[in-house]
Structure 1
Amino acid sequence: METLIEQIKQGKVWPFAGGIHPPGQKQQSTSRAIERLELPDKLVVSLKQHIGANGKLIVEKGQSVLKGQALTKPSGNWSVPVHAPTSGVITDICPMPSAHPSALPELSVIIEPDGKDTWCELNPVDDPKALSHDELVDIIHQSGIAGMGGAGFPTYVKADTRKSIEFLIVNAVECEPYITADDMLMREHAHGIIAGIELMQHLLNPTLTIIGIEDNKPEAIAAMQQAAKHNESIIVQTVPTVYPSGGEKQLIKLLTGKEVPSGNIPADIGMLVHNVGTLFAINQAVYEGKPLIERVVTVTGNTIHKQGNVWALLGTEIKHLLDCQGFSPVPQQRVVMGGPMMGFTLPTVRIGIVKTTNCILAPDHQELAEPGDEKACIRCSACADACPASLLPQQLQWFAKSKEYDKLNEHNLFDCIECGACAYVCPSEIPLVQYYRVAKAEIKEQQAEQIKAERARERFEARKERLEREQEERQNRHKRKPATKSSDEKQKVADALARVKPKSDDKDSKSAVAAAIARAKAKKQGAELEPDNSEVAKERAARKEQARKYKEQKALEQSEETVDKDDKKSAVAAAIARAKAKKAAQATEADNATDAEPEAVDDKKAAVAAAIARAKAKKAAQATEADNATDAEPAAVDDKKVAVAAAIARAKAKKAAQATEADNATDAKPAAVDDKKAAVAAAIARAKAKKAAQATEAENATDAEPAAVDDKKAAVAAAIARAKAKKSAKEQAETESATDAEPAAVDDKKAAVAAAVARAKAKKAAKEHAEQQAKNESADTHGTDAHSDDSSTDEPEAQQIDNTPESSEDKKKAAIARAIARAKAKKLQQEGTDKS
């Protein structure tokens, strides 16, 4: 089986997908040899004429420069210098319109030629093989050579590749219509091109060099074969005339049958591609020492009277080229830089020629018609059939319009070589290439922003790590290191521990000592250990328990004192309660006397009054019994306190009598009773109230007798008195509620019995009152001598009241009251007998 090299030498060609056959239109510019133009009035040399970073400017405004003098020096990645195309003066350094569809301004050096065209010092090389690889690459680099057939990729980068190159491919196809710059260069300077090829062979050492030329250039094919006949490693290969066979990947497919994978470059598969114009510039740079300052440019179109190719200095304005070739513009004239397929319309002709400018096309309206309005896609698939990169132009256009950049990358947008074949065949006249160019620019800008953000993030993280590291170093620098213990110090600590151990028998004390030693060790060694506070906590808890017990004991003592004081107060309160009960009994008698009036009381009222009288009498009797029982108990109150209590009781009794008088006066105004009876009733009420007050005073004086009972018995007696008083009050309340619940219509028998009981009790009460009064008089007589000092000092008011003899008027009133009570009782009895 034949090898690949054998197949290539036999002239085999492998076709690529897609492609179109537009009219060539090359005869107009190949009828004349390449001409040289006269010097222009000014040259606008852009600093950016290639892919990569701009060079660093090394000249200034007003400076004189020589032909071939460097204006910049390489700075950054893929940076190549630019040189002065002729001698002259730098009139300005400013932004000027660029050779781009947008014509955005780029920094440019404006040179005014002096007309002398004086060269700077040149350094030609007679024997390039004597130079090292790096020296030869440096000459190419400093000469400012970049790719002259396409995007302007720096040539020194390709020449300095470290990858193994099997095939060096020379692109001499020049497939685009109207362009004939490479064709004429090969016709006239084939030997120079072959010399440049041999220099690249020396640098790259390829197995085979293939020159690809379209079959529509017979003169160029013959010239190149003649120039390369002495070099057997160079093959001139004729390829079919199909557009775009001049594309790098398409040409590799045509000549070798290999395909460059998506996202890769030809060097990845052992191939390298150079344009014939680039190789001729390498020849001049090495053998003549000339930098890249001029190139061949095709000036053609129906508006150009003198169509052909010219040697144009870099920076020459396009207007100068057109004027030199006889330009006759038409209305709305278009001027295209490049060919009709991949070129772009210039917004102005005041733009300088750059290293990648190979054609200036000035067509009329019949030659290159204006594109029509864009119409809707009819899905004819003509664009996909014509695409040489086997892409889907229709989908790419949709994604580009909707700015779906991820999908554009998925559909390999950057494999598009922007040949324009899809737009050429589109029946809807959709400018597909323009969509792709805009999308590519936006994606590159987005990627640049992402790279910038990533670098900023990396810088931030690096700075953060650096600051943290510096902070940690500062802390470690100021941190005190624990001092190293000597053997003597260690021995002292061990001896101290040995002395401490036998002294402590208790486990708690041992643990406390051990904790103290541990804390001391930790503190000395600089360790940040928390102290053991268990022993301190135990001591604190013990102190709290002791304080709590002390408070409880103190509270108990205070409660006992309070009980003693309460007993004394209870005795006084019992005396006051007895006085109030007696007063209530007397008030009841007065009410009964008043209620017994025969004129204003009817039968029903009499029955109710009898029931009330019985209840009140019973209540008074119970209260009297309780008082007597209480009086029998010895009191533990001293003389002074008894005197004060008696005075308070008398005052309260007097106040109660006044209130009773007011109540009786109010209640004693029935509508059926005349004024006389009301006056008598009021007088009787006042007499009873006064008598009740005197009786209370007498009892209080009697209760004031000193007792010979000790404190313990007094406390017991007081407690009993409180209990009885509480019981009496409870029974009184129950009696009142029972009395109130009795119906008004009490039967006659009960009324008679009640009347009899009332009379008996009234009689008994009067008798007891007389006996009590006699006792009080005898007590006053004996107590005056015994207690003259105390009574004169502490109880002046009590002595004054108790020693006052009862007047005859009072006795009279008391007799009247008893008579009224007996009359009421008799009347009630008679009424009961009549009813029965």
Structure 2
Amino acid sequence: MKKLNGIKLNHRKNTENSSTVDFPVPSKVSIPFSMTMGAPCQPLVKVGDIVSVGQKIGDTDAAFSAPVHSGVSGKVTAVSDYRNAMGTVCKMIEIETDGLQTISDEVRPPVVTDKESFIKAVRESGACGLGGAGFPTHIKLNPKNEIDTLIINAAECEPYITADYREMMENPQDIINGINMIKTQLGIRYAKLAIEANKPEAIKNFTAMAENDDTIDIITLPSAYPQGAEKVIIYNSTGRIVNEGSLPADAGVIVMNVSTVGFLYRYMQTGMPLVTRRLTIDGNAVGEPKNIRTVIGTSFRELLEFCKTDIPSIKKIIAGGPMMGMSIPDIDMPVVKTSNALLAFNHYDERKTSNCIRCGRCVRVCPLGLMPADIDRAYKIRNIDELKKLKVLLCMNCGSCTYVCPANRKLAETNQLAKALIPRK
């Protein structure tokens, strides 16, 4: 089967052999109430309240959302408005920690007797896609279509990031148990654990673990970007195509991030919701790159200082990977559910853009066969009909087109702006 197009990157997995280090409980955390796709939560606590670890502190009646929990014990000192890097405003609370890390009485393993109670438990865990997209997991695991294949996304194709790899190396049994748990609860027959070829130790370990299980396939995918993109990993793992406007479930598939699967298994055993994150801290401004586990709400500044970062020298900070991550405006922004990496660089070269030379490189590397240069032209004249014909809504913003453009044109950025012009149902 022909694999989809992509690009070769220097992955710079500097921290792949760096075991996860637990960051000390900070003196204060700031927890936003919008950390997933969907509706923001509303605070369930107020200034002066005492909270415990694992306590639910935010929720909403909206179906497409996930509750928020505290990862610390202490006192609520402020409720304010918070603007994230995307410009969205939500409520945020500040908690002054007491250092005791008292576990809430709410923390107990959920009682799961059927699919309905399983989905309810997943929602109560606060789980979302931990690869960065933040899609609420309980929505993903409750599709209307019949699902026959569960794909576990363990590609981690972005440069620098090794957080998922450390999950695979440190908690492999949790992942296998989580896969089997999800298959059983949802009645899915087969699972495919898809890993990029640049992770040979993980491939070797999981192949041995699944040797006698004919319902779990360990798939080795070429080391190419954007191998971990949802549509790409579905096609390269199964040969199935997710059409424009369709969801993976329409193709009989659910795709889950490998760290999400490991977390869900642990939650079902302990009842401890999603209150911590593992992040890769790296970049040439970082003195000691590490993989760190910390409570949600920890300041990025504290993590960078912990890794001996030369903060005054920083010219650019990226939350996530350099290809699809988000440049952040404030070093004091907090860790959220979707945080998987923080990259700090002491040099940033804003390349000068020139005219398109019609070389076609952007077309050749696009995994979905789009024509970014033509989309760019149609966007400039606001030709919505032409943008629809060019299938701009299929763009997943992987950034491959921008990466290879010899004219340094911001094609991926234009694609996103063009998508916003098209009315959605």
Per-residue Cα deviation, 1:690-718 (whole angstroms, up to 9, x for no partner): xxxxxxxxxxxxxxxxxxxxxxxxxxxxx
What is the aligned-residue RMSD (CA, Å)? 1.8
Task: Give the superposition deviation at 1:89.
Answer: 1.0
Indicate which of 8, 28, 34 corresponds to 1:42: 28
- Aligned pair partner of 1:373 in 316, 337, 352: 352
Gaps of 5+ in 1: 1-13, 452-836
**What secondary structure, in the 3-state scheme, does the structure 2 residue paired with 1:304 have?**
coil
- Map 1:202-241 to 2 at 5 A: 202-241=184-223
- 2:176 corresponds to 1:191: no
Residue pair 1:45, 1:108 contacting (<8 A) in 2 also: yes
Which of structures 1 and 2 has the larger relative contact order (alpha carbons within 8 angstroms, sep 6+)? 2
Q: Is 1:336–1:345's contact at 8 Å kept on the other side of the alignment?
A: yes
SS in 1 for 2:231: helix
Question: Aligned match of 2:37 in 51, 55, 69?
Answer: 51
Q: Does 1:18 align with 2:20?
A: no
Counterpart CA distance in 1 for 2:12 and 2:257 is 21
Question: C-alpha distance in 2, partners of 1:418/1:89?
Answer: 41
Alignment of 1:333-732 (within 5 A): 333-365=315-347, 369-443=348-422, 447=424
1:110 equivalenced with 2:94 (yes/no): yes
Q: Deviations over 1:638-667 (max 9, x none)?
A: xxxxxxxxxxxxxxxxxxxxxxxxxxxxxx
The AA in structure 2 aligned to 1:18 is: N
Residues 1:176 and 2:155 are matched in the alignment = no
Question: Is the partner of 1:335 in helix, strand or coil?
Answer: strand
Tell me how far apart the structure 1 counterparts of residues 69 and 200 of structure 2 sit (CA, whole Å): 35
Map 1:251-270 to 2 at 5 A.
251-270=233-252
TM-score of the superposed pair, with normalisation by structure 1: 0.49
Mapped contact 1:318–1:350 kept (Cα < 8 A): yes
Instruction: State the shift of 1:362 in Å.
Output: 0.9
- Summarize the Cα distance change of 1:114–1:267 in structure 2 as closer, same or farther, 3 Å threshold: same
How far 1:295 moved relative to its partner? 1.7
Q: CA deviation at 1:132?
A: 1.4
> Counterpart in 2 of 1:294?
276
| Contact residue 96 and residue 107 of structure 1 kept, 8 A | yes
Distance 1:105 1:55 in 2: 12
- Give 2:75's aligned residue: 89
1:331 deviation in Å?
A: 4.0
**Within the alignment, does 1:66 sit opposite 2:45 as a pair?**
no
C-alpha distance in structure 1 between counterparts of 2:70 and 2:166, whole Å? 25
Shift of 1:41: 2.5
Question: 1:771-810 counterparts in 2 under 5 A?
Answer: none
Q: 1:231, CA displacement in angstroms?
A: 3.1
Residues 482-522 of structure 1: CA distance to partner in whole angstroms, max 9, x if unpaired? xxxxxxxxxxxxxxxxxxxxxxxxxxxxxxxxxxxxxxxxx
Question: Is contact 1:103-1:346 (8 Å) kept?
Answer: no
Can you list the C-alpha shifts for 1:139-163, whole angstroms capped at 9, x where unaligned?
A: 1011111111132111111222242
Shift of 1:316: 1.1
Letter in 2 for 1:371: E
Residue aligning to 1:708: none
Which residue identity does 1:400 align to in structure 2? Y
Which consecutive aligned stretches of 4+ in structure 1 deviate over 6 angstroms post-superposition? none
The separation in 2 between residues aligned to 1:440 and 1:181, in whole angstroms, is 31
Conservation of the 8 A alpha-carbon contact between 1:54 and 1:75 = no
Aligned length: 424
Following superposition, the deviation at residue 103 of structure 1 comes to 4.5
Alignment correspondent of 2:64: 78
Counterpart Cα distance in 2 of 1:226 and 1:293: 32
Per the alignment, in what secondary structure is the counterpart of residue 362 of structure 1?
A: strand
Counterpart AA for 2:2: P
In structure 1, the partner of 2:263 is 281
TM score, norm. by length of structure 2? 0.95
Relative to total residues, which structure has the larger strand share, 1 or 2? 2
Aligned equivalents of 1:340, 1:93: Cα separation in 2: 32
Query: Could you say if the C-alpha distance between residues 313 and 409 of structure 1 is closer, same or farther in structure 2, counting changes exceeding 3 Å?
Result: farther
Cα distance in 2 for residues equivalent to 1:406 and 1:62? 55
Question: What CA distance in whole angstroms lies between the structure 2 residues aligned with 1:293 and 1:214?
Answer: 28
Matched to 2:99, the amino acid is: G
From 277, 287, 298, the equivalent of 1:305 is 287
Q: Aligned in 2, Cα 1:88/1:438: closer, same or farther, shift over 3 Å?
A: farther
| Alignment-mate amino acid for residue 88 of structure 1 | G
Give % identity. 33
Structure-2 residue corresponding to 1:669: none
Secondary structure of 2:254's aligned partner: strand
Q: Alpha-carbon deviation of 1:358?
A: 1.1
Question: Deviation at 1:104?
Answer: 4.7
Distance 1:348 1:215, change over 3 A: same
**Deviations 1:225-269 (Å, cap 9, x if unpaired)?**
344345331111111101111111111111111211121111111
CA distance in 1, matches of 2:300, 2:345: 15
